[in-house]
Structure formats: structure tokens, C-alpha cells
Structure 1
Amino acid sequence: MLAVFDRTVAKSPEGLRQPEAEEKGSGGAAAIVEHFSSSREGAVTINLGSAGFMSYSSEKQDPLLPRSFAAVDDIFCLFQGHIGNIATLKQQYGLSKSVNEVIIVIEAYRTLRDRGPYPADQVVRDLNGKFAFVLFDSSSNCTFVAADAEASVPFFWGTNSEGHLVFTDDMDIVKKCCGKSFAPFPKGCFFTTSGGLQSFEHPLNEVKPVPRVDSQGDVCGATYKVDAKAKKESGMPRVGSAANWASQY
């Protein structure tokens, strides 16, 4: 799976981008998606206008960590992996027995956005399983991205020379387009347009970049770890309102 977002909807966090990307990274957003889709049989690409692109293929997927895609009311979501407590979540969100993981993620996001009964970190923690997902809400130009606490699914992010933020399960793709400006997506974390990168395991702590060095000794895009000593200035909002959920994070 692949998602490429413009900096206006997904700003690269501090530390991920390295100067080498300007020289060694290659390709704009359209070129990245074209390379991805042309090399995968049956790939489906969604043009998100000025916000970017999403692309998906079931080719060569791990049967234990399958990929899926869904679009509901201008919300687009790529999901890979599985959720173990899916029956509980269906009941919690009032969903039919036939829905799958990707629909559950969309409905969880819509509940947060429209009614906000739970904080975002709690909602992601409620997803028990092995997963990574990328969601884009075109009605509000908001992204919502997360990976499980064990980094069970291969999942990477990076920044290309044009400042696009790239999410994918294919390391070769992200290395080609982002040069040294890529890293594994931090486990136990989620990323939103307005809130940036946060830990859902430790929501009251800051997440800080740590320089990442490759096998050749070159500094690459940073990894991110929870800073046990750094608390956020204010607690996470615990109760939502009629306001857009994304504006709170």
C-alpha cells in the first residue's frame, strides 16, 4: 500500500527529513504513485486532488496480514493486518457482522470526528491486533495514520524532495523516492494532520526524534521514541463536542 500527501495535509515531523534527500530522493507525488502502480498487477490508485494520492494492490500480500481498502462518505482508508477483537468493536460502534477491519477504522474515525466520546489515543489502543493503516478525510483534509504497539506490519514513512510525506509497506519504494529521509513508522504511535506524531501508549508524554544510522554509518530519517521525562503542557481532551475531532489533536 502507498499514500503520498502534500505538506498542507501531512507535514513532515522534525528529524525525519535529511539533506541527502534533496540529492538522492527522486520523483514527485504522481511519479511515485505511477512507479508503484505500474509494478503491481491490479493496483488501484485514488487521486485526492491537491492533497495527494493513495494506491493499493493485493499482489504478493502476506495472507496473515492482508491489505484492504475502503471509501465511505469521502473518507478513504488503507489497512493492512488484522484485528483480534473485531466482534467487540462491531458491537461498540453498532456495526453489522459483515464489516471488516478497514470499515471499523473508518467508523471509529467518524465517531471521533462527529461525536468525540473518546480521545484518539484510547480509540487506537482499543484496536487489538497486528495492523497499520492510513486514513484520509477529504471533507476536512485530515490524515489519520497508526501502527500497532509491536510494529507487527512492515510500515515506513519518509519525506521526498518536494516535501510530500510518504507512507508505505514497501521499503524499496520509500528509499527510492525519499533517499535518506525515511524510517520505520514508530510503533505504538499515531499521526494526525493537526496533532502530528503522538504515542497512543503514553499519550501524556512527548515523542522525540532520535538520529538513525544505517549500515554505512550515514544518518537517515530519525526514529521516534517516547520521552519519559517530558510531559505535554496540557492533558489530552477527554470529551468531544460538535467541533471537528481533528482540530483537537
Structure 2
Amino acid sequence: MLAVFDRSVAKCPEALQSPQQQPGAGAAAASALKDGALGHHFATAHPAAVNVNLGSSGLLAYSLDRQNPLLPRLFAVVDDIFCLFQGHIENVALLKQQYGLNKTANEVIIVIEAYRTLRDRGPYPADQVVRDISGKFAFVLFDSSCKTAFLASDVDGNVPFFWGSDSEGNLVLSDDAEVVKKGCGKSFAPFPKGCFFTSSGGLRSYEHPMNEVKPVPRVDSSGQVCGATFKVDAETKKESSMPRVGSAANWSSHY
């Protein structure tokens, strides 16, 4: 799977960008969104790939090529909400009941419904909603109605999931590390375990929601800084200022 979001939709963490790749630094690599270049590369590398143009917001691509049968890939669109999902949810029956879904709903539909419940009603903190998903998973969701991105990975990082920044600061995500390298050069890293990212709230840990997440520079074999990994800072606590939201509130304005 592949997702590229314009920096106006999902602002890439500055620490993820290597000095050579930061916008305005004269990086040689082209924008991953220019002429759909990275989407075309993905389609070449993965036969029968489906590319979805999100206009000025970015692009999505999906393929069943070389997928792990134990961690299948799924794609769905419901009411202008696009979602790429890879993996397996263990507590499917419980989540179907919680969100009032029918028996035919699968993992990707559950994630879409969980997001829509957060967006429209906000009954729980976003970190709790992701934490309630038990299994091996990584997902990327885009809500075209409010140009919001939402993504997460399980607590053990069982599904390969990488992210990076292209030369213009656009966010690139894929389960294929080589695709992210193609679009981001050295400005990429594995997506942090047990974390989620939203357009308005950035990167947060749902496993340890009261702790800050701090970047740790990555150094390659030649000694060059190439992006950063992100770790939960056990010493730094967030201020307890979680807002209460009513039934009419849009959760994305708070997270």
C-alpha cells in the first residue's frame, strides 16, 4: 500500500527530514506528488495496482501483489472516507458490536466506522479508540470531506510500515520500504510502534497517551543522519488538558 499526502493535509514531523531533504535545501529528489511520479513507480513495482488520485490532497495506491496471507491488505471507501488496512484484528466481533456493524463488516470497515464515530460524536479519546483495536495492523485513512489523515500501527509493529518526507515536505507512507526510499531518499524511518498520527494533532502514543513522543536521530552505515525514529519519553508527561467534547463536536479539532 502507498499513501502520499500534501503537506497542507498532513504536516510531516521536522525530525523525520534529513538536512539534505528539507524543503528549500536544494534536494535533488523530485516531489513524490509531481505528475503522480511515486504512484506510477508503485504501479510498476506492484502489478495490478489501483491508484486513487486525491486531487491536491495527494494519492493512494493499493495492490495485492506479494501480500502476506496472514496479514492481508484491504481497501474501502465509505462516504468519502478512504482507508488502506493491512493485517488482522483479533477482537472483530467485539468491535462490530461496539460500533453497531453487521456480520459482514471486515477490518477496514471497522476502522472507517471507528474514525467516523470519533469525528461525529467524539465519545472517547482518540488514543482509547485505537488502543481498543487488538491485533496486528497498520492503516492509513483519509477523510476527503475535511481533508484529514489518520494513521496507526500496532504496539509491536507486526506489519511493515514506513513513513518519510519528500523534498517538498509531503508525507509518504507505505508497507514497502523501497517505495518510501524512492520518494524520500534518506528522510524516512519505520513508523513508530504503538502510535497514531492525525493531521491536526501530529504523532502521539496511544499505548502511553500521557507521555510525549520524542525523535531519536537515525544514522546510516556511512554516518549520515537519515531521518529519525520516535520513542516514548518516559520522563516527560503531557499536561492534563484533554477537552470534553459534545455530541456535535468534531474530534479532529482536538487531536
More deviation, 227-236/115-124: 227-236
The corresponding residue for 1:14 is: 14
Question: How far off its partner does 1:234 sit?
Answer: 3.2
Q: Which amino acid aligns with 1:65?
A: L
Residue identity in the other structure for 1:9: V
CA distance in 2, matches of 1:163, 1:225: 22
- % identical equivalent positions: 69
Which of 191, 196, 201 aligns to 1:190? It is 196
* Alignment partners' CA distance in 1, 2:243 and 2:158: 29
Q: Is the 8 A contact 2:245 2:251 kept in 1?
A: no
Equivalent residue pairs, number: 249
The residue number in structure 1 matching 2:223 is 217
* Contact 1:186–1:224, Cα closer than 8 Å, also in 2: yes
Instruction: Tell me how far apart the structure 1 counterparts of residues 241 and 124 of structure 2 sit (CA, whole Å).
Output: 14
Gap runs ≥5 in structure 2: none
Q: Which runs of 5+ in 1 are unaligned?
A: none
2:27 match: secondary structure: helix
For the Cα contact (< 8 Å) 1:144–1:191, is it kept in 2? Answer: yes
Amino acid at match of 2:131: R
Q: Where do residues 120-135 of structure 1 align in structure 2 (5 Å cutoff)?
A: 120-135=126-141
Counterpart in the other structure of 1:25: 29
CA apart distance, 1:217: 2.1
Q: Which residue of 2 aligns with 1:174?
A: 180
Q: Deviations over 1:194-244 (max 9, x none)?
A: 000000011111111111112222211110111112122333335444121
Distance in 2, matches of 1:54 and 1:104, equals 19
**8 Å contact 1:119–1:237 — kept in the other structure?**
no
Deviates more, 1:223-232 or 1:122-131: 223-232
Contact kept, 8 Å, 2:218 with 2:228, in 1: the verdict is yes
TM-score (structure 1 length as normaliser): 0.96
For 1:144 and 1:162, the matched residues in 2 are separated by 20
Letter of the 1:229 partner, please give it: E
What residue number does 1:110 align with? 116
| Separation in 1, partners of 2:86, 2:112 | 14
**Which aligned segments of 4 or more residues in structure 1 are displaced greater than 4 angstroms?**
none
- The AA in structure 2 aligned to 1:23 is A
Shift in Å at residue 192 of structure 1? 0.1
Matched, 1:226 2:232: yes
User: Which residue number in structure 2 is paired with residue 97 of structure 1?
Assistant: 103
Q: Deviations over 1:74-96 (max 9, x none)?
A: 00000000000001000111101
**What are the residue-to-residue correspondences of 1:64-83 with 2, within 5 Å?**
64-83=70-89
CA contact (8 A) 1:26 1:176 kept: no
SS in 2 for 1:34: helix
Which of residues 41, 47, 54 in structure 1 aligns to 2:53?
47
Which residue of structure 1 lines up, in the alignment, with residue 214 of structure 2?
208
Q: Please give the secondary structure, in 2, of the residue aligned with 1:89.
A: helix
Please state whether the residue corresponding to 1:23 is helix, strand or coil. Answer: coil
Q: Alpha-carbon deviation of 1:42?
A: 1.3
User: CA–CA distance in 2 between the matches of 1:185 and 1:138?
Assistant: 23
Per-residue deviation, residues 96-149 of structure 1 (Å, max 9, x unmatched): 111100000000000000011111000000110000000000001000000000
TM-score by length of 2: 0.94
The CA deviation at 1:27 is 4.4
CA contact (8 A) 1:168 1:174 kept: yes
